[in-house]
Amino acid sequence: MRELTVDLGERSYHIYIGEGLLNEADTYFSKHGISNKSPLLIITDTNIAPLHLAFLEERLQGGGFKAFSAVVPSGEGSKSLSMLEELIAKALDAGLDRKSTIVALGGGVVGDLAGFVAASFMRGVKFVQIPTTILAHDSSVGGKVAVNHPKAKNIIGAFHQPEFVLYDLNLLQTLPPREVRSGLSEVVKHGLIWDASFVQWCEDHADRLLALDADSLGYALHNGCSVKASVVSQDERENGLRAILNLGHTIGHAIEAVGGYNGLQHGEAIAIGMVGSAKLGVRYGAPEEVYTTTKRVLAKCELPTALPEHFDVDAIMEAMMHDKKFAEGTMVFIVPSAIGEVEIKSDVPVAWVREIVEELKLEVEQL
C-alpha cells in the first residue's frame, strides 16, 4: 500500500493507493471520523454501479454505516445543475444532515459532480473520493469540483477538498482500454512538468501500465498524485503555479472542442497538445530531445501524437480564440524547457501556435 499527503494546511488530506483497499473501506471511514450516526450517500454512474457498488455498500453497511446510493447516467452529461438538483433530493430523502458524507465512487465525472454536491449541500458537508479511473488520479487532487453549464464546461463549482482518497487498484481492472490510455496521458503530463526520471520510468513501464499491472499502476498513480499535490499545495486557488498543470491543454481543449462527439477523448487530445507544446519548447531553444522524448513516451502509451488529417486548422485556432487566452496577437502557453521542466510564457505569438498546429497535422505517428 502506498500513501501520500496533499499538504493544504488545515485542509490537508491523505491518499491511499493499493490493491483491495475497498475490503477495509469501513476501517478507513472510521479512522477518518466519518459519522456512522448520520446517513451517507454514495454517488456513482451506470457503468460502475453494476461492477463495484454492491461491494462498497456491503462493506460500509457491514461496518455500521448508513450507506445510501444514487446512480447517475455515465458520461459528461451528468455534470449538470439538473443532476445536482436530483442528487440533493436523494440526499434529503435519505435523511442526510450536516454531519453526513458524500462519497464519489467513479472517475472524474462522478468525482466532480459528487464533489459539488458535497460542497453545496447544506453549504458544505464531508466528501470522500474512491476513484475508479486512472484519470481520476488527477481529479482527486486539488479539490476542484464543478458541473457544466450549457455554455461552458466546469463553470459552476467550488474548491472542496476531500477527507481522504481511497484508490483501490482492483477497481481499475474493469476499465475499458481507451480509458486506460486516456488516463495515462495525464500521468505522463505530471512527469513532463516536474520529474524527468518519472518520464523515463513511464517509457520503460508503458507496457505494464497498459496491461494494468497493479504494482506499476500503484507507482504511476502515486507519482502522478505527488506531482499534482506539490503544485496544488503551493497554489490551492489557482493564482499562478497551478497553470503548469495545463501543459498540452490549450491545444488539447481546442482539438476536443472541434472534434465534437465523435472526436478524440480528453487524454488523446492533450497527448497531441503536449507534442505541440514540446515543438514550441524546441522553438524557444529547448533541446530537441524534449520533442523526441515527449513523442516517444506518449506513443509507448498508445496515445496519438499527430493531429488526424480531417481536423481543420482554422477551426482549431477559432476554438482557441474562444478560450479567451489571447491578448493582442499573443497568448499564454505552458512551454517545456527540458523534460521535467516547464515555463509559463505569456507572449507566445499566435502565428507560432498556428504553425505548430499545422505541423501537428504533418507529424508522422510513431508506433
Ligand X SMILES: NC(=O)c1ccc[n+]([C@@H]2O[C@H](COP(=O)([O-])OP(=O)(O)OC[C@H]3O[C@@H](n4cnc5c(N)ncnc54)[C@H](O)[C@@H]3O)[C@@H](O)[C@H]2O)c1
In the complex, the residues that contact its own copies under the rule CB under 8 A are 81-82, 84-85, 88-89, 92-93, 97, 119-124, 144, 146, 149-152, 155-159, 237, 324
30 binds ligand X (CB under 6 A): no
Enumerate the β-bridge partners of residue 144: 159
* All cell numbers assigned to 326: 489571447
Q: How far is the CB of 97 from ligand X (least distance, A)?
A: 19
CB nearer to its own copies: give 91 or 275: 91
Give φ, ψ of 96 to 5 degrees. Answer: -60, 145
Catalytic residue among 266, 279, 295, 300: 266
- What is the C-alpha separation between 295 and 277, in angstroms, rounded? 11
Ligand-binding annotation for 137, yes or no, is: no
Which residues are CB-neighbours of 20 under 8 A, at least 6 positions away? 168, 170
Ligand-binding annotation for 109, yes or no, is: yes
Give φ, ψ of 154 to 5 degrees. Answer: 55, 30
| Region 161-200 residues binding ligand X, contact defined as CB under 6 A | 171-172, 174-175, 179, 182
Q: Taking the chain, what is the end-to-end CA distance rounded to the nearest angstrom?
A: 34
| Cβ proximity of 147 and 157 under 8 Å | yes
| Cβ proximity of 172 and 217 under 8 Å | yes
Ligand-binding annotation for 74, yes or no, is: yes
Q: Which does 310 bind (CB under 5 to 8 A by kind): its own copies, ligand X, none?
A: none
216 binds ligand X (CB under 6 A): no
Q: Give me the amino acid identity at 123.
A: R
- What is the C-alpha separation between 54 and 97, in angstroms, rounded? 23
CB nearer to its own copies: give 1 or 81: 81
Q: Is 222 a catalytic residue?
A: no
* Strand 2-6 with 13-18, pairing: antiparallel
Residue ranges that bind ligand X, judged by CB under 6 A: 45, 47-48, 51, 74-76, 79, 106-110, 112, 132-133, 135-136, 138-139, 142, 144, 154, 171-172, 174-175, 179, 182
Residues in the annotated binding site: 74-79, 108-112, 132-133, 144, 153, 186, 249, 266
- Residues contributing to the annotated binding site for Zn(2+): 186, 249, 266
List the catalytic residues.
123, 144, 186, 228, 238, 242, 246, 249, 253, 266
